[in-house]
Every structure is written in structure tokens, then in C-alpha cells.
Amino acid sequence: MNNSSIVKRFIYLSIVFGMILLVLTPPFQAPDEDSHFKKAYVISKGNLFPEVQNGKIGFMLPEGLVNYIEEQTKKAGDLDETFEYKEIYLSERLPGEYGAEKFYNFSTATTNPLAHIIPASGIIFGEFIAKIIQIGLPSIVYYLYFARMFNLLFYIIIIAMSIHISPILKRTIAMVGLMPMALFLASTASYDTLLIALAFLATAIIFSLSYGETQKKLTMPYIVILGIIAYLFIAIKIVYLPLFLLMLFLPKRELSNIKEYVKKLLILFAIVIGIYLVFRFITPSLEAVDPKNTDILVSKQIDYVIHHPVQYCKIFFNTLKETRLYLVSSTIGVFGLLDTNLFCAFLGLYLICMPILGIFEISIDKVKVKIIDRMVVLISVMASVFGCYLAMYIYWTISIDGYGVGAQSITGVQGRYFIPMMPVSFLIFANLRLQKNEKLRKIMIGIVDNYALLSIVMLSVSCIVILLRFWC
């Protein structure tokens, strides 16, 4: 299967199933979509940065908007709660009721505005369309669908570019991009869409510098793109930054001229610093009163980890062991407000088939990966995984009743956080021996070329699960 066919197949499947997921998922029945939409909404109104009122950080928002969102999020966890087409139809079609504005704090209030620029652009475009078709005051649901559509289209474009650029693991990148959880997130207003797509793009660029019959050079466009991605990781979720460790080891052609390569890396670093300083300069200084003394608890939790590293490692591994089913579920597919799971039989099927397909493809690609390179990839992936758990232990676990400082388990970690690192992880399993046997090689090619069948099955089941959960 040629490069064009893989890209086209991904685009067709992601558009069809992405739009189905977008429509089937009721308003604000997706992880943290309430906070992501609020931030996108205020950005669309020109309010990039929050303000401080009465010691709290937040934004002015219409009461009607907040009340509607709260009504929807209250339905979380109630499997008997269903929706009607008429209800959504009227909510989307009738003029919005927003009411007076009040000051609100929400979880993404202080997030860098670049994290929500895509859904915010969707809302702005939706407002433009509303004027053309003479909608007086667009509804909240109307804005939400445009925010979702722009996120989905951005995701499809960037993943398609990643597949085109990468000289290896093209089908695996497409398959992970079509994974139910990844495409579900892409069809919501979440900034996870941005992070997953850009992580795949960075991975594809690093692959193009490191592998393939004709390795590419680290040109200025690549440097700028990687610099922007690195900054966004720092600004939004720094735990994905270890992906850039691969730049220090994998691009062998570039490493043959160390001086020239160091200059390029310094330019990349300068771009990151430059963007950081720009946002540091334009971002207003905010001083808030923390009624829960969170900063003190965070400091105590950090101190606990530093002075009890062995105990923390035990907590980390015990949490992995105790939550393994949830981690698998939330990586492959948990829908709604994390209350709608795929059936275990299909989770098990995907858990077996997806790694096999990835290992077969990296073997067919005839990629020679040195032991040191495998170690770098492993360290990069594990650093992100470990970083996710550490961040949640320090900043989230302390705020949960019954946990606090020195808690013996870690809460809040979801498998979807690890999707950005999945394509690169298959380098660890590169095996040239598998493709030496001609019969085995033909079998592997046949299986890998039909990767889309697994994606179609999983996405079809996912759509049915969401349909049964919310609409029947």
C-alpha cells in the first residue's frame, strides 16, 4: 500500500467516524469539555488572559452559559440518564439564553491561550456563519459543535501530515490516530486533540530525520515547527517534553556533523525561549488568594517525594498494578464523562491486535535500531509516563478527600495521557529477523495492510456503545 493510500484511508475513516462521534456525544459529555469550552468561548470574545477578582482567578461568563453546562455535567455517572434528539435539536437551533455575566473560576482559566485557539477559531467561524444564515443569537450547543468540528479537522490534517512525513510506521500512526479514545477526544473541544496531533507530528519529523532510504535534513521549517511544539508542551503539559530527547540520539545523519547540528538545536532552543518570553511579557501578573493553601500542600508533597523516593516508587508501581484495567480502558476507549466503557472483550481484542500490528510494521520497515537508541526511546516514553503520575501525585492527589500528603496511591491518571507517546514506543520492538522468513514476511504484510479493519470494527463498536448509552 503506497503512502497516498494510507493517508487517504485515514482521512476518510477519521472524517466519517469522527463526525459520527461528534454528533452522538451529547453536549459536554466528554472529559473536561466544560472547562475547555469555557476557555475557548472567552478567547473567541477576545479575552486571552484571566483577571483577578476577590482573590480568585477567572473570567466573566454569561450565567446562562454556565448554568446550561452545569446542568449537562450533573448527568455524569448516571447510566440511566439519556438524551432525546428533540432536546438537542431545540438546544442547538433556538436562540441562546445567556443572561447577565458573572465572574467564574474554572480549571483551564490560567492555561496558555494557544491551547484552545483551535476550538476558539471554530466558535468565531460559527458566529460568522450565523450572520450569513441569519441566526440572531447562536446557542451554546451551536457554538460547541463548531468548536468540536474545528478540533476534529485540525486533528485530521495534522495526523495526515504526520503519516505523509514519516518514513516508517505509517499504518501504526494511522491506527493509533483512529483509536477510539483518540478520535473521540478529537471530536470534542478538548486540548488533548492539540497535544496528541502535535506529538505525532514531532514524532514523524524525528523519524524523517532518522530513518528511511533518504533521511531528511533538519531544515529551518522543521526547526520552527519543532520549536513551537516544544513550547506548547512546556506551556500545556510539560510531561511530553521528553519526546525531544530523541533529537539528541536518533538523527544519525545530522549527528555526523556535530557542530552544524548543535547550531540547529540552539536555534530550536532560541525559538522556544523567544516564544516563552513573548508570552511572559504579554501575560498579566496574577496574584490570587488560595483558600485551601494548595501551594503549601504541594510543597509538602514534593518534600515527601524527595525524602521518600523508594516509598514513592512503591506507590507508583502499586498504582499501576491496581488500576491496570482502568488504564487500558481509558487508553483505548472510555466515553462520556468517563462513565461509558467499551466492553472488555473488545478491549482485550484491541490490546492484543494493536501491538502486534505495530511490531509487524516496524519489522517490515527494515529499521535497524541500535540498543542505545532503544534505551533512549524507552527512557523518553517512561519519563513521560512517570512524569504524568508524579504530576498527578503532587498537584491532584493532595486535593482529594482521603488522600492528601503522603497518600499511598495516585489518583487522576488516565490512559489517554499516554497516547502521544504510543507511535514512538514501537521503535523498541524493531526486529529485522522477523522479515527474513519470506512466508512470515508475507503474512505480516497481509496483516499490516489490513490494519483499517481493526480500526473500523473498534470504531463501529464504540459508536454503538455511545448510541446505546446516551440515546436508547
pLDDT in tens, the chain (472 residues): 677 899 999 999 999 999 999 999 999 999 999 999 999 999 999 999 999 998 889 999 999 999 999 999 998 888 888 999 999 999 998 888 898 999 999 999 999 999 999 999 999 999 999 999 988 899 999 999 999 999 999 999 999 999 999 999 999 999 999 999 999 999 999 999 999 999 999 999 999 999 987 788 999 999 999 999 999 999 999 999 999 999 988 898 899 899 999 999 999 999 999 999 999 999 988 776 555 567 788 999 999 999 999 999 999 999 999 999 999 999 999 999 999 999 999 999 999 999 999 999 999 988 889 999 999 999 999 999 999 999 999 999 988 888 889 999 999 999 999 999 999 999 999 988 887 888 888 999 999 999 999 999 999 999 999 999 999 8
Q: CA 409, CA 397: separation in Å to the nearest integer?
A: 8
**468 contact partners, CB below 8 Å, separation of at least 6:** none
Tally the domains of the chain: 1
Task: Say if pTM beats, i.e. exceeds, 0.75.
Answer: yes
What pLDDT sits at residue 288? 66
Grouping H, G, I as helix, E, B as strand and the rest as coil, residue 369 is coil
Domain range for residue 213? 3-471
Angle between helices 258-282 and 220-236 (to 10 degrees): 50
Residues 6+ apart with CB under 8 A from 285: none
